[in-house]
Structure 1
Amino acid sequence: MRVSPHRTSSRDPGRSSGPLSERAAAALADARPVPFWTDRAERPEPRPRLTGTTARTELLVVGGGFTGLWAAIQAKEADPARDVVVIEAGRLADGASGRNGGFVAPSLTHGLAQGVVCWPDEMETLDRLAAENFTGIEKTLTAYGIDADFHVPGELTLALTRLQVPAVRESYELHRRHGVPVELLDSAGSRARVDSPRYLAGMYDPEVALVDPARLVWGLARAAESLGVRLHEHTRATAFDSDGAGVRVSLDGGAIRADRVVIGTNASRGVLRRFNAWVLPVYDHVLMTEPLTPAQLASIGWRGREGLTDAANQFHYYRRTLDDRVLFGGYDANYHFPGRIDPRFEQSDASHGLLADHFADIFPQLDGIRFTHRWAGVIDATSRFTPVFGTALGGRMAYAVGYTGLGVASTRFGAAVALDLVDGRDTELTRLGMVRRKPIPFPPEPIRYAAVRATRSSLAAEDRTGRRNLWLRTLDRIGIGFDS
């Protein structure tokens, strides 16, 4: 999930703010403006709201997404007697955890290349921790009987233009040097796996999994409750205050006192103001097709069900569901001044129409395909693409936010870090450089908005020309990036 330009031709998609193309309008005509993952009868009824002022707990987890649920489960597994409460401002899976593409990449560093740049001396440790974290996810799903359509078909990173071919090869060589059993594919090899006339080269990584993210949220919630965790939906935290040796958390319907608090709220601005400096809320848009017919599937191959992405700065991500729909998202990453989050931003004819046109360009053999769902989600982007960790209120509160669109797996790791921090433990996790050192903060508004626009424009230019301009080279030198 990353950044964007509108089409100038079918071979070089650019950007436009004009009306939907006739083709895109037809494809989107019946699309429901809600996330596919949660638009199903199997969605559980909401847990009761927490009200009143007498509630107490040993550990309060704020945020009922992946980070919060993993924190609750790991806390109870470590100490079954510990009293744990999770509060969620909306409904479970309403936020980023139920809106993403369901790619489960093992990386804890937003990809190998980013990790090598930021923490070269720790990569061996980070790779080991990533593998342990991935195995922990698999063991949890098995132990609690969570059916979240988890499978490991791998991922293809594809070159859609000649300029992207060297990037694919460089990524292949880097992964091989670090022991990842990737495979380099030419155009014919790429198209033998998934057939598109756009594919000029590819890299296959066998270690990436796919999951149904909403079912994962719901399954983790049931697992947490089976351990004795109390979950409350429609319960918003509005303020945090020291209260003796603990924390008094004001709620929109009361209050709760906790000995310790863990924050895992994605891009939400209403929890700790300090997040504003480090976390940029970026909207990413997604489409879901109707189920493909056997003939349509035969026309594109894709028998391995690999997750797909491309090698541009402004890239797409797409995957097959187990009922043979295709999720297609990314490319655009929209920031709204001054960091606004609003449900009205979730529907964008410009972004959804662009995706519909790009899908038709990549798979012309699926001409006439229709989309059943269109939605967007807010990504908690940081300048180094990995989370911000820290404590507040004298160490009685800890947080892990800023996964920058690659958190389905790494949120479990982030939750473990937050638990170690809030419990004051000196561990291998808390000694990591990515935990001890925060990313460079984003500048204040209106400089931030201007910088985002300049960066988007520069990334689009690099995708067209292959040249990294002075602005991007400057950001590289000071360690600031823009991604989704």
Structure 2
Amino acid sequence: MISFWEKESFMQYHLIVIGSGIVGLSTAIEYKEKYPNKRVLILEKGILPSGASTKNAGFACFGSLTEICDDLENYSEEFVLQTVQKRYNGLQRLRQRVGDKNMDFYAYGGYELICKEQLFYLNQLHEVNDLLSPIFHQKVFLERGFKTPRFGFDDHQVKELLYNPLEGQIHTGKMMTALLKIARSKDIEILTGIEVKQLNEESKNVLITTDKKLEFKAEQVAVCVNAFASKLLPQYKIQPGRGQVVITKPIQNLPIEGTYHYDRGYYYFRNVGDRLLIGGGRHLAYEAETTTEFATTTQITQPINELLKEVILPGVDFEIEQEWSGIMGFGDKKEPIIEKLSDKIAVGIRMGGMGIAIGSEVGHELSNLI
């Protein structure tokens, strides 16, 4: 039961954004910058942002060579180029908004480990570099030559190493803290621990029903819940994908610095100071990992540990300090959905595991739709 005063002051807005991840915050911030006098509210079902925005590996990347080669098998060159461009634009927009220092952005560069079975991808190296030249005006993927002494990788498994000087890493907790601070500085209201259960369009507003028996009204609604979209809007067939991540305790003289991709990007690892963070392995159990349940399983973490011991850190003593998971959103197309569901409701979902790269760009485009 709410009072007249609460109904007047806390329940009616010009725009309500559902989801406080990168997309939701970016959408709200850009809308408020255009309309500073309008009331904006963000509703988040978790106490912290749910999904993947604060649970990912912190890669500021736009695609490895093998991923782009695989995409060229399934999509046109124009589509692949547009996809990379959108990712790169999103990263630049994020850096400009947050500031590199505020999210520990380090341009260490990125690497891709190529095993014997994947050496054929190198035949497309020049083709892919030429394709990407209109965006970057330089060679993106460079053959470094595999140097075991420097990195310590197992040379029975790793046969070549590619280097991408344009890739970086970030601290996603600091990134989200900075975005939240920006949003609040613009008088954007944020309520956490409230799950939206239903949207009903009325003549002038959208009625938003929540699990707390509170009903909000807004002239416009932006749905930015990515992997969880199908629960609220069943017409969108978004497939959740759980990504499991582990991080070690500090490792003395860790030889690894930067971001790394392995086995066509199915595994990814990086340093976090003198710790090593690694995630992936979803391809080992696609059906089991098509879930919105936050959990880690030995079916995934055990192969990750074996990869650490046998390929990445052979002969190095390490201990796992923490495990966690994040939920990504996928679909039948490798591009985000940014569209108006109606005159009053717009959606920005299906990040395809690239939320850091494209989230700010999706928020930019979504705010222009509203």
State the TM-score, normalized to the length of structure 1.
Answer: 0.67
Paired residues for 1:26-425 under 5 Å: 54=8, 55-106=11-62, 112-113=68-69, 118=75, 120-121=77-78, 130-142=87-99, 147-160=102-115, 162-171=116-125, 173-179=127-133, 180-185=138-143, 187-189=145-147, 191=148, 194-197=151-154, 198-253=157-212, 254-268=214-228, 269-275=230-236, 277=237, 279-294=238-253, 297=254, 301-302=255-256, 305-312=257-264, 315-321=266-272, 323-333=273-283, 334-336=285-287, 340-343=291-294, 346-392=295-341, 394-421=342-369, 423=370
- Does the 8 A contact of 2:243 with 2:325 survive in 1? yes
Report the AA paired with residue 326 of structure 1.
L
Name whichever structure is richer in strand by fraction: 2
Pair 1:73–1:114, CA change in 2 (3 A):
farther
For residue 281 of structure 1, report the CA deviation from its aligned partner: 1.2
- SS class of match (2:146): helix
- Secondary structure at the counterpart of residue 357 of structure 1: helix
Q: 1:186 touches 1:200 (CA, 8 Å); kept in 2?
A: no
Assess if the C-alpha contact under 8 Å between 1:148 and 1:215 holds in 2.
yes
User: Are 1:283 and 1:335, in contact at CA under 8 Å, matched by a contact in 2?
Assistant: no
- CA shift at 1:155, angstroms? 1.1
Secondary structure, aligned partner of 1:358: helix
Residues 53 and 270 (structure 1), Cα distance of their counterparts in 2 relative to 1, 3 Å cut: farther
Farther-moved stretch of structure 1 (362-371 vs 218-227): 362-371
**Contact 1:181–1:206 (CA<8 Å) still a contact in 2?**
no
Letter in 1 for 2:331: T
Change (3 A) 1:105 1:369: same
Q: Distance in 1 between matches of 2:312 and 2:144?
A: 18
1:222 is displaced (CA, Å) by 0.9
CA distance, structure 2, for counterparts of residue 385 and residue 324 of structure 1: 34
Looking at structure 1, the residues matched to 250 and 173 of structure 2 have their Cα atoms a distance apart, in angstroms, of 19
Measured at CA, do residues 175 and 338 of structure 1 come closer, stay the same or move farther in structure 2, by a change above 3 Å? closer
Once the 2 structures are TM-superposed, how far is the Cα of residue 131 of structure 1 from its aligned partner? 4.2
Distance 1:124 1:288 in 2: 33
The number of equivalent residue pairs is 352
Deviations 1:264-296 (A, max 9, x none): 102114221112x2x1112221110011113xx
| Identity value in percent | 18
- Normalized against structure 2, the TM-score is what? 0.86
- Displacement after TM superposition at 1:192 (Å): 6.2
SS for the counterpart of 2:33 is helix
Classify 1:364/1:61 alpha carbon distance in 2 versus 1 (closer, same or farther; 3 Å): closer
Separation in structure 2 between the aligned mates of residue 382 and residue 172 of structure 1, nearest angstrom: 30
Amino acid at match of 2:267: H
Q: Kindly tell me: are residues 357 and 115 of structure 1, through their superposed partners in 2, closer, same or farther at Cα, counting changes over 3 Å?
A: closer
Over aligned residue pairs, what C-alpha RMSD do you find? 2.7
Does the 8 A contact of 2:206 with 2:344 survive in 1? yes
SS in 2 for 1:267: helix
